Amino acid sequence: MAQLSVAVIGGGIGGLTAALHLLRAGFDVQIYEQSRQMTEAGAGLVMSPNATRLLIKLGLGDELAKAAVRPAGFHQRRWQDGRTLAFSRTAHEMETRYGSPHYVFHRGDMHQILVQAMPPERIHLAHRCTGAADRGSHVEATFANGTAIKADVLIGADGVHSIIRGLLLGAERPRFTGCVAYRGLIPIERVAHLGLDTASNNWMGPGRHFVHYPVSAGRMLNFVGLLEQDSWIEESWNEPGSLSDLAEAYAGFHAQVRGIIGAADQTFKWALLDRDPLPRWSFGRITLLGDACHPMLPFLGQGAAQAIEDGATLTACLEKHRDDVPAALELYQSLRMPRATRCQTISRNNLTRFHLPDGPEQEARDAKMATGTTDWSYEAIGWLYSHDASVLPAAA
């Protein structure tokens, strides 16, 4: 049987990991990326066991371990006095329970590991896809630079503003969620005086929360301030942010939070976008993956992890149905949609839960967290972290 050719539109974390899975399974894969360089914006990235399991299967375990930090735990805290609401020990317990580590990364470090693993001749930079059409026996795609390609399968891994999604389902802007993120990185020695622990800390306050954890093998501290805001008026979705606005927004928070903001040189401000779950991802020989089909709020730490799962399952489906691409893509959609939708829904619900105003509801939340029985408990999160997306269920 001839080797199937797969065109991946977009070289973000989702597109790259899908391409690596497909390549290892013997498909002829090419990535088309609009940027002139393979770089990744942003700061920190949490990689839970369901994602690290797949990256390790790709043979990237050693590189990842060198760049990662294993956080000592997840520390949920009250915004003004730092009181512990819940503490789950991640580093050892996660690995023992789910058989794969829980890491945090600098996004750039992780993206580079994926880029280095991909043969460079299979990455086509400065290729902004402008059109794609299923011709029955193959797919054709066109690019702003005037080139055109043919492939047996086309994957739209082109992010939250996906052109491919628009071509398949009609143009529509993703929704501004009413939440913005201020993100930044600080050399760790600059915050040494604050006495921070090595856990991933989440400070919950009214209408906002603040997250920080060490990245880049402990050399840098990543922070994200997530706060509610009525509208997004900047033209770009990713703007330099004002440190004084950030400091003002967290003025009443604990001294550690204020100290982190005070130590930062710069911050970038991101609009947080999402969409309602789509009715379909797969159309004949074309399908979608990652933020192109299931953007989600970052309040479950699963956006990139779910994109990584997509690529693994998609590869397994194409391996099973090499002679029937539409059947493979239908199977992929049926396996992935319920799980990604569940993550989208929980992420959205966490916005309310993290940002409760001080009062009876917040007190009830804190009391429940103290019992260790929330859906952050090891038992409750098992469905998410123990999953191996590279293995098709027997019924499939």
Q: How far is the CB of 145 from ligand FAD (least distance, A)?
A: 10
Q: Which of 52, 290, 299, 314 binds ligand FAD (CB under 6 A)?
A: 290
The sheet carrying 175-187 orders its strands as 84-89, 73-78, 200-205, 208-215, 220-228, 175-187, 267-274, 238-241
Within the chain, what is the greatest distance between any pair of CA atoms? 65
Query: Is 213 tagged catalytic?
Result: yes
Q: Which of 27, 79, 250, 270 binds ligand FAD (CB under 6 A)?
A: 270
For residue 305, state whether it binds ligand FAD (rule: CB under 6 A): yes
Our CB check for ligand FAD shows the closer of 217 and 327 to be 217
Task: Give the C-alpha separation, 303 to 237, whole Å.
Answer: 17
Site string for ligand FAD, 130-169 (x = CB under 6 A): ---------------------------xxx---x------
For residue 10, state whether it binds ligand FAD (rule: CB under 6 A): yes
Q: How far is the CB of 153 from ligand FAD (least distance, A)?
A: 16
Select which of 32, 103, 182, 213 is catalytic: 213
Closest CA to 58 of 21, 105, 23: 21
Whether the CA torsion 375, 378, 379, 381 is positive or negative: it is positive
Our CB check for ligand FAD shows the closer of 11 and 174 to be 11
Q: Which of 8, 141, 181, 343 binds ligand FAD (CB under 6 A)?
A: 181
Our CB check for ligand FAD shows the closer of 10 and 174 to be 10
From the list 289-297, 326-334, 335-343, 379-387, the region that binds ligand FAD by CB under 6 A is 289-297
Q: Which helix (H) or strand (E) holds 47?
A: strand 44-47
For residue 12, state whether it binds ligand FAD (rule: CB under 6 A): yes
For residue 73, state whether it binds ligand FAD (rule: CB under 6 A): no
Closest CA to 225 of 180, 262, 185, 195: 180
Please list the alpha-helical segments (H only) found in the chain: 13-24, 49-57, 61-67, 91-98, 107-117, 163-169, 243-249, 255-263, 303-320, 325-354, 360-371, 378-385
**Is-contact 183 43, C-beta < 8 A?**
yes
Task: Give the C-alpha separation, 113 to 322, whole Å.
Answer: 29
Q: Which helix (H) or strand (E) holds 75?
A: strand 73-78
Q: Which of 4, 6, 11, 117 binds ligand FAD (CB under 6 A)?
A: 11
Task: Give the C-alpha separation, 49 to 66, whole Å.
Answer: 17
Q: How far is the CB of 235 from ligand FAD (least distance, A)?
A: 17
Grouping H, G, I as helix, E, B as strand and the rest as coil, residue 276 is coil
For residue 46, state whether it binds ligand FAD (rule: CB under 6 A): yes
- Residues that contact ligand FAD, how many (by CB under 6 A): 35
Q: Which of 35, 112, 242, 377 binds ligand FAD (CB under 6 A)?
A: 35
Buried b (16+ CB within 10 A) or exposed e, 98-129: bebbbbbbbbbbbbbbbbebbeeeebbeebeb
Our CB check for ligand FAD shows the closer of 38 and 331 to be 38
For residue 9, state whether it binds ligand FAD (rule: CB under 6 A): yes
Q: How far is the CB of 27 from ligand FAD (least distance, A)?
A: 18
Site string for ligand FAD, 80-99 (x = CB under 6 A): --------------------
What DSSP line would sit under 148-207, residue for residue? EEEESEEEE---TT-HHHHHHH---PPEEEEEEEEEEEEEGGGGGGG---SSEEEEEETT
For residue 128, state whether it binds ligand FAD (rule: CB under 6 A): yes
Residues that bind ligand FAD (CB under 6 A): 9-15, 32-35, 45-46, 127-129, 157-159, 163, 181, 183, 224, 270, 272, 290-292, 298, 301-305, 307
Active-site annotation, residues: 213
